[in-house]
Amino acid sequence: MAQRTSDNAIGVRRLGFGVSGPHGTPLVHPSLTADLIYRAVDRGVRLFDTGPSYGAGEAERRLGEAMRRLPRHDCIISTKVGLSSSGLARRIRDFSPEGVRKSVEGSLKRLGMKRIEWLLLHGPAPSEITDDLLKTLTDLKRKGDIAVLGIAGRGPELEAALATGQFGVFMAPVHAALKPYDLARLARIRATGAEIVGIEALAPALPRFPAPVTPGATWRLARALAGRFGAHAPTPMTPEECLVWALGEGGAHRVVVTTTRPEHFDANVYAVTTPSTGRLIGGPSSLS
């Protein structure tokens, strides 16, 4: 079902793979995470998103390990800062200059890389985007530890980041059940030339409380029961329709999707490379 890189290289560049959630836990064997990463690179996917809070660094370690085993590649590795976990599902917030420096150092080590292509603030409150934080991030950029600064959020923190003029990547929910003011915010961000990376794109296609029949569904059920459910979208759509919508009407330049199932991964590649993506808007000129 899936098409290979050469069939639609631009389309597939708009799909990112999320090495997160179950990929940081024993629900998924590290070899399955690695196989999905190899599969993604083989299909032409070049964006991989992870973060130190996913499994207390385990997801970053898995991504770094898999990348080291691949021949030279031009992948964008996106990781985050500001949230970490102790391994017991306890989340720790720290956007202090010292905390940020320490977190970046840890991410570089776990990923086995000299530079982080995209460093995203992980869900800061608007008040946490301080001058001290921005100065620290600028210093890290100057030092060469990070290339592009971004934010992963879902509310006014996105506007706060936009107002600083220092953020190039905005990772946020993009799906057909978003409220008009969320869509308007995305349109304002997009109009500045920043890159919109859609998450929760499949929300309208997924049950709110899934039966725990796959590691991915088990993870989502646990998250929903813990009250950490991000999106609930009542409009039923197929996963393919969701991806086409996010990259078309939704205005996302790219979407990041996670899965624990190779057949789901291939279906997602197919969705972004199929002729129906003729409806897609163009990506930013930086799309690589």
Ligand X SMILES: NC(=O)c1ccc[n+]([C@@H]2O[C@H](COP(=O)([O-])OP(=O)(O)OC[C@H]3O[C@@H](n4cnc5c(N)ncnc54)[C@H](OP(=O)(O)O)[C@@H]3O)[C@@H](O)[C@H]2O)c1
Residue numbers of the site for ligand X (CB under 6 A)? Answer: 18, 20-21, 49, 152, 171, 199-202, 206, 214, 216-217, 220, 230, 239, 256-261, 264, 267-268
| Distance of closest approach, residue 218 Cβ to ligand X, in angstroms | 9
Output 108 or 256, the one with its CB closest to ligand X.
256
SS (H, E, C) 62-89: HHHHHHHHCCCCCCEEEEEECEEECCCC
Q: Which is nearer to ligand X, 50 or 136 (CB)?
A: 50
- Closer to ligand X by Cβ: residue 132 or 263: 263
Distance (Å, whole) CA 89 – CA 53: 9
CB of residue 132 to ligand X, shortest distance in Å = 23
Strand partners, 85: 91
Strands 169-173 and 116-122: unpaired
Show Cβ contacts of residue 51 under 8 Å, excluding neighbours closer than 6 positions: 20, 59, 60, 79, 80, 83, 120, 122
Distance of closest approach, residue 182 Cβ to ligand X, in angstroms = 14
Q: Shortest approach of ligand X to residue 263 CB, angstroms?
A: 8
Q: How far is CA 242 from the centre of its chain?
A: 16
Nearer to ligand X, 132 or 262 (CB): 262
How far apart are CB 278 and ligand X at their closest, in Å?
20
Q: Cβ closer to ligand X: 139 or 261?
A: 261
- Please report how close the Cβ of residue 274 comes to ligand X at its closest, in angstroms: 13
Quote the least distance from Cβ 222 to ligand X, whole Å: 11
In the bound state with ligand X, the residue whose beta carbon lies nearer, of 49 and 58, is 49
Q: Which is nearer to ligand X, 139 or 183 (CB)?
A: 183
- 285/224 Cα distance (integer angstroms): 37
Question: Based on CB atoms, which residue is closest to ligand X, 178 or 217?
Answer: 217
**Are the beta carbons of 121 and 161 closer than 8 angstroms?**
yes
Least distance CB 48 / ligand X (angstroms): 8
